[in-house]
Amino acid sequence: MNRARTALLATMALALALTAGCSDDDGDDAENASDEPAPEYSIITEDLPDGGIGEAELLIPDATVETAEAAIRDYADTIDGPEAVTVQVVRTEDAAVIVCRADWPDLDDTMNCPDPGGN
């Protein structure tokens, strides 16, 4: 009886170890905060000094909060060089209203979407 119980426990432990190793979650919830696919956007302005503080403005004519956040995250994945970058999304090139903005690399802590019409 002890052998059967030991074998059962060993099999359960092996099954648990195998399923834990096959997880799809990479443990980085901040990076996966939005399931929204990145929309197409144009880069209106981009200043990315090596080691400095940069800025970028993205244009999405029909932006919502969700699409603006997704675009910011998508653009942030391409940043290489600056120490920090403020990224914002607008609907027109001469926009007075910002749909969303965030400071890379702390996107989750700084994401701000002040446009009340962006929902």
* 47 belongs to a structural domain: yes
* 77 belongs to a structural domain: yes
| pTM score of the predicted model | 0.69
* 60 belongs to a structural domain: yes
pLDDT of 27 over the 90 cut: no
* 74 belongs to a structural domain: yes
Separation between Cα atoms, residue 30 and residue 43, nearest integer Å = 24
Q: Which of the four pLDDT bands, split at 50, 70 and 90, describes residue 95?
A: confident
Torsion angle (degrees, nearest 10) of CA 67, 71, 74, 79: -160
* 51 belongs to a structural domain: yes
* 13 belongs to a structural domain: no
* 3 belongs to a structural domain: no
Torsion angle (degrees, nearest 10) of CA 70, 98, 118, 83: 20
* 103 belongs to a structural domain: yes
Number of domains in the chain: 1
Give the domain extent around 67: 25-110
